[in-house]
Chain A
Amino acid sequence: MSLKIFIVFLCAAIGVATGYAVMRSYKRNYEYLDGVCALIAELKRNIAYRRDGAVSVLRAMEIKSRQLEKNVGEYIAFAGGKADKPDISRGFLSAEVYERTREFFASIGRGDGQSQINELDMFGERFIGLRDAAETKYKKLGGVAVKLGFLIGLGVGILAL
């Protein structure tokens, strides 16, 4: 009997862990996009007043997302180096987000202050849209994924008996 309970418990735990992993993937996607939005806002603020180089602004930012931290590091290495284009790694990013991110990093510093602000506005709109979608997904589906994982795990455990 205790073995049966253990199997059901194990299956439910696996289900919860899977649901939790799904929720985490939604969360890191949201955190990444939220970080990009914060970065764009900070760049815009800086260009409007202090007009420091993008590298100094990015260096001073506190970034939660590990992937974004990595991408910012890659951009900083590019800006201080001699390559023609920034080499931005994809990590867990979806094809669309990755493409937008690459375009965003490639666009930094290519024009005068006003053109850069206009361009950042355009990227800001796009990323805010992506972030809002990711936030909805994370908040609505994240909890559901954990619950569903538990139920599926429990169901599988019971069926396995």
Chain B
Amino acid sequence: MDELFRLLPDEYAAPIADRLCYDRLCEVRIINGMPVRVCYDGAYYFLCRTGITKQRADAFVADARAADGVVMRACERSLYTVTDTLKRGYVSVAGGIRIGVCGSGVMSGTELTAVKDFTSVNIRLPHEIKGCAASVLLKTLANGVIKNTLIVSPPGAGKTTLLRDLCRSVSDRGHNVLLCDEKYEIASVCKGAPTLDVGCRTDVVSGVDKAKTLDMGIANMRPDVIMMDELFGTELDDVRRASTCGIAVIATVHAKDPDDLRRKQGWERAMTEGLFDVLAVLSAPPRRNIELYEGIRS
């Protein structure tokens, strides 16, 4: 909570601290010159002096450099620490907070070299819900064997929260877990220690892409299972590589449902060959149901 307040101007932080329940707050969205919005209990509201409102006229209006201020505070005035992630559109902050950033790109030929003049930020707050993956765990960890599991959901439905709990549960049940925390939001490692509970047998590789994590981790850390967030079709070969080494993979992907997933590049083949044994499909908020599919092949 303190980390969020450090990022925000005091006038925005005050109503959040005084009038809102932090556990129900998912996002704070700031667009320069526009009303400040928050996602509260899965619905969007404007942030105002008295808390939240549906009335645009009452909302705080962000000043022309508000997004820049958030980014600079997020990196403690050291942009060079976050230029690589900024080029991928985000900044990670302690406590698992991820800030989506929009601004003007600086291109050198076809390469994006920097992002400047930030126009908007979306501060996404993580939530630790212990036990939320219990139903998935029953399918994933049957008879002591870990099955390849894919968590499917649209953005903002809670797949990272689910993955974190699954990671903690599998790890605490005696399995070596290698967690690929590319965006520092699952374990949120700060100064060499995870700040969120990912289990006592979890080795965390932060800020490194999935392929390199597999290179580093498979031989050296001897994991039973590898966990990774936000898988893309281009990374499925890495999953196959891990699977053929006898290591289970638990991952998440952005899609509405299995049919939507099949339409994504590279996924049709993965589904046909049965790369994942269990599919956990999360519905969008506020329902957040989990539908489980086992042995799905097209």
Hey, which chain A residues are within 8 Å of B69, CB to CB? 82
Asked whether A54 is an interface residue with its Cβ less than 8 Å from the other chain, the reply is yes
Tell me the chain A residues, 51-69 only, with Cβ under 8 Å from chain B.
Answer: 51-55
Instruction: Please tell me if the beta carbons of A82 and B10 are within 8 angstroms of each other in the complex.
Output: yes
Complex: A98 Cα to B183 Cα, angstroms? 40
Using C-beta atoms within 8 Å of the partner chain, give the interface range for chain A.
10 to 19
- Closest residue of A by beta carbon distance from B7: A82
8 Å CB interface, B75-92 against A: 75-81, 83
- Asked if B73 is at the interface of the complex by the 8 Å CB criterion, the answer is yes
Smallest beta-carbon distance B6→chain A, Å: 7
Identity of the chain A residue whose Cβ is nearest the Cβ of B83 in the assembled complex: A112
Interface residue? B114 (CB, 8 A): yes
A53 touches B76 (CB 8 A): yes
Whether B9 is near chain A, meaning CB under 8 Å from some CB there, is yes
A93 to chain B, nearest CB (A): 22
Contact of A112 among B6, B9, B76, B114 (CB under 8 A): B114
Known: A82-B69, A82-B73. A51 touches B81 (CB 8 A): yes
Is there an interface contact between A51 and B77, defined as CB atoms closer than 8 Å? no
A116 contacts across to B, CB distance below 8 A: 80
CB of A91 closer than 8 Å to a CB of B? no
Among the stretches A32-40, A103-111, A134-142, A149-157, the one at the interface with B is A103-111
Q: Which A residues are CB-close (under 8 A) to B73?
A: 82
How far, in whole Å, are A51 and B10 apart by their CA atoms in the complex? 29
Chain B interface secondary structure, helix, strand, loop or mixed? Answer: helix
CA distance A57 to B163 in the complex (A): 34
- In the complex, the chain B residue whose C-beta lies closest to that of A55 is B76
Contact with B along A108-120 (1 / 0, CB 8 A): 1111110110000
Q: Inside 8 A of A53's CB, which chain B residues have their CB?
A: 75-78, 81
Residues in A with CB closer than 8 Å to B114 are: 111-112
CB distance from A60 to the nearest CB of B (A): 12
Q: Tell me the residues in window 85-131 of chain A with beta carbons closer than 8 Å to chain B beta carbons.
A: 108-113, 115-116
Give Cα distance in the complex from A78 to B77, angstroms. 9
Q: In the complex the two chains form, what is the Cα distance from A110 to B77 in whole Å? A: 7
List residues of B (99-123) whose CB comes within 8 Å of A's CBs. Answer: 113-114
Is A79 engaged at the interface, CB distance under 8 Å to the other chain? yes
- Using A80-B6, A82-B9, A82-B69 as known contacts, say yes or no to A111 and B77 having CB atoms under 8 A apart: no
From A51, A55, A108, A109, name the one whose CB has the most chain B CB atoms within 10 angstroms: A109
| With known contacts A80-B6, A82-B9, A112-B114, A55–B77 Cβ distance under 8 A | yes
Assembly CA distance A51 to B81 (angstroms): 6
Q: Is A47 an interface position by the 8 A CB rule?
A: yes
Are B77 and A79 touching (Cβ within 8 A)?
Answer: yes
A55 and B81 CA atoms in complex are apart in Å by 11
Kindly state the separation between the CA atoms of A52 and B80 in the bound complex, as whole angstroms.
9
Tell me the smallest distance from the CB of B32 to a CB of chain A, in Å: 15
B79 and A79 contacting across the interface, CB-CB below 8 Å: no
The listed residue with most B CB atoms (<10 A of its CB), out of A53, A112, A113, A115, is A112
Counting chain A CB atoms within 10 Å of each CB, which of B73, B75, B77 scores highest?
B77
Query: Which of B6, B80, B113 lies in contact with A109, CB distance below 8 A?
Result: B80
Query: What are the 5 closest A-B residue pairs judged by CB atoms, nearest first?
Result: A109-B78, A112-B83, A53-B78, A109-B77, A53-B76
Can you report 16 residue pairs joining A to B where beta carbons are below 8 Å apart? A53-B75, A53-B78, A54-B76, A54-B78, A79-B77, A82-B9, A82-B69, A109-B72, A109-B79, A109-B81, A111-B80, A112-B83, A112-B113, A112-B114, A113-B80, A116-B80
Q: A47-B80, A53-B76 are in contact. List 16 more A-B contacts (CB 8 A).
A: A51-B80, A52-B78, A53-B75, A53-B78, A54-B77, A55-B76, A79-B78, A82-B69, A108-B78, A109-B72, A109-B79, A109-B80, A111-B79, A113-B80, A113-B83, A116-B80
Interface residues, chain B, CB within 8 Å of chain A?
A: 6, 9-10, 69, 72-73, 75-81, 83, 113-114
Binding site for B on A (CB under 8 A): 47, 51-55, 78-80, 82, 108-113, 115-116
